Chains A and B, each alone.
Chain A
């Protein structure tokens, strides 16, 4: 994988459902993986940064896992609420560079 890829591109879930999406990134020279939450008409806000293989982060109902050997991260949302509706971006960085490579995002819509 040369780029950062996210799937699915978009999804709709019902309020109360749990959901998850994937970020795939280059595993060679991996340094860090970032997750951002981006609400419409606002700017991206940081959720997590992860660096170690097997790392897990949690903030309220949102959690993330990291597999650096195979180059993927999962973001989980438990009991989705309408206010979780947003685009979730991931970004990968490699060692020795200041450059963050962003995926195209997963657009989540939670239906009340």
Chain B
């Protein structure tokens, strides 16, 4: 039981390059989330998926797209990376996404955009 896994762990991009961050969970959770974490700021929600087949914008969605590929997988895509997207990205999942549900986090992806 791996919980929430993310790939890659580290990535360096040049401005304008694209990439996809992968996230998968094996806990049969319905809801999944993408956050970014920057120094001096809390975890900020980029996008979330309340259930398979649905996605919604969070607090900071600009420059990102997501795909809920199936119940297990939720990917985050940067179409044209910018230095402002240098951050640590965390994927999380929860049973239903009710406000009382615990979120389980992946190990994070550290992304640097030059």
Contact = CB atoms under 8 A, between A and B. Distances in A.
Contacts, number: 59
B105 interface: yes
A94 interface: yes
A43 B25 CA distance: 14
Contacts of B106: 43
Interface in A46-66: 46, 49, 51
Interface in B45-67: 45, 48, 50, 56, 58-59
A34 to B, nearest CB: 7
The B contact surface, by secondary structure, is: loop
A95 B99 contact: yes
B45 A46 contact: no
Given A49-B100, A89-B42, A104-B42, A43 B105 contact: yes
B43 A89 contact: yes
Given A45-B105, A104-B41, A104-B42, 5 more contacts: A43-B4, A49-B102, A91-B43, A100-B103, A102-B43
19 contacts: A31-B99, A31-B100, A32-B100, A43-B106, A44-B103, A44-B105, A45-B105, A46-B103, A49-B102, A89-B43, A93-B99, A93-B100, A95-B99, A98-B97, A98-B99, A100-B103, A101-B42, A102-B35, A105-B42
Interface of B: 4, 31, 33, 35, 40-45, 48, 50, 56, 58-59, 90, 97-100, 102-108
Interface of A: 4, 31-32, 34, 42-46, 49, 51, 89, 91, 93-95, 97-105
